[in-house]
């Protein structure tokens, strides 16, 4: 029994190291113990929301901004592609949160309902949710898939909120981030998907979501600096948030790489 258990633990550990080596590069492996220790220290002293503001500025911006558009009337919320979500950290009213994703390794907290499936077809009646949201997911769909997925979101939601990187500036800075991460030995499959499928254009978003309100955020240069810093071991645990404090006054200036689309069902 002990041999089987030890073998299982070793296999799991080896598999995790392989993932880190692929996704975080050589530096990720070399500094893994220190990075792990620093992360645990942060978890002891800070909430997940605060940690995001320290070492994942772009994620913090997305969720803190989109959460402001979720009101106390939005009791039933559906998030698409929200495995490892931070949404519940930003909500202050009573709600029920359902997340649909294809991440088999996600261990959801007890205060939400997790469904493992694709979202091109949702098994819900029309307008079942007060709010449907998707954060940084649309750009990972092909052009052929996007309209199909969005139609389902609009069908089951009285309101739809979507954060997405967009446009030619977004693609330009994605390529720069990809080059920087490759330089330090990282494999960035998510940014590669951005480039492969192409980021949504503003005119495309306006067709998908007629009469929607679109809010722009994340200055491209500030985003590139803080996001690349987040890629680095040890430095990436603390410095992105510190650097952002000095760059924050530039963050409301063009060019922007992100936007939030707020669409409301006109029949409600």
Name residue 12's beta-bridge partners: none
Confidence (pTM) = 0.88
Strands of the 159-165 sheet, one edge to the other: 113-116, 96-101, 76-80, 131-135, 159-165, 256-264, 213-219
Distance between CA atoms of residues 112 and 95, nearest Å: 10
Distance between CA atoms of residues 253 and 221, nearest Å: 10
Distance between CA atoms of residues 178 and 197, nearest Å: 15
Name residue 161's beta-bridge partners: 133, 262
pLDDT tens, the chain, 268 aa long: 444 555 655 555 566 656 666 666 667 777 778 888 888 899 899 998 999 999 999 999 999 999 999 999 999 999 998 777 788 889 988 899 999 888 887 777 777 888 877 777 888 999 999 999 999 999 999 998 999 999 999 999 999 999 999 999 999 999 999 999 988 888 888 999 999 999 999 999 999 999 999 999 999 999 999 999 999 988 999 999 999 999 999 999 999 999 999 999 988 7
| Longest Cα–Cα distance in the chain | 62
* Domains of the chain, first to last: 46-264 (3.40.50.150)
Other Cβ atoms closer than 10 A to 105: 7
């Amino acid at each position: 029994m002990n041999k089987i258990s030890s073998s299982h633990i070793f296999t799991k550990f080896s598999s995790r190291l392989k993932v880190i080596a692929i996704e975080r590069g050589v530096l990720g492996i070399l500094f893994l113990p220190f990075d792990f220790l620093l992360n645990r220290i942060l978890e002891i002293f800070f909430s997940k929301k605060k940690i995001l503001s320290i070492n994942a500025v772009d994620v913090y911006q997305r969720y803190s901004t989109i959460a402001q558009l979720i009101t106390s009337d939005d009791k039933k919320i559906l998030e698409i592609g929200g495995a490892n979500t931070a949404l519940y950290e930003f909500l202050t009213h009573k709600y029920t949160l359902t997340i649909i994703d294809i991440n088999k390794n996600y261990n959801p907290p007890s205060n939400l309902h997790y469904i493992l499936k694709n979202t091109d077809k949702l098994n819900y009646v029309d307008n079942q949710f007060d709010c449907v949201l998707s954060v940084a997911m649309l750009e990972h769909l092909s052009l052929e898939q996007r309209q199909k997925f969005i139609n389902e979101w609009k069908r089951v939601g009285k309101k739809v909120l979507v954060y997405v990187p967009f446009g030619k500036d977004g693609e330009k800075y994605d390529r720069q981030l990809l080059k920087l991460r490759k330089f330090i030995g990282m494999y960035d499959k998510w940014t590669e998907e951005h480039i492969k499928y192409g980021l949504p254009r503003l005119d495309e978003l306006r067709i998908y979501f007629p009469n929607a309100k679109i809010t722009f955020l994340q200055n491209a240069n500030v985003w590139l600096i803080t996001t690349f810093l987040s890629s680095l071991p040890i430095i990436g645990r603390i410095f992105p948030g510190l650097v952002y404090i000095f760059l924050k006054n530039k963050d409301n200036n063009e060019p922007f790489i992100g936007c939030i689309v707020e669409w409301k069902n006109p029949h409600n």
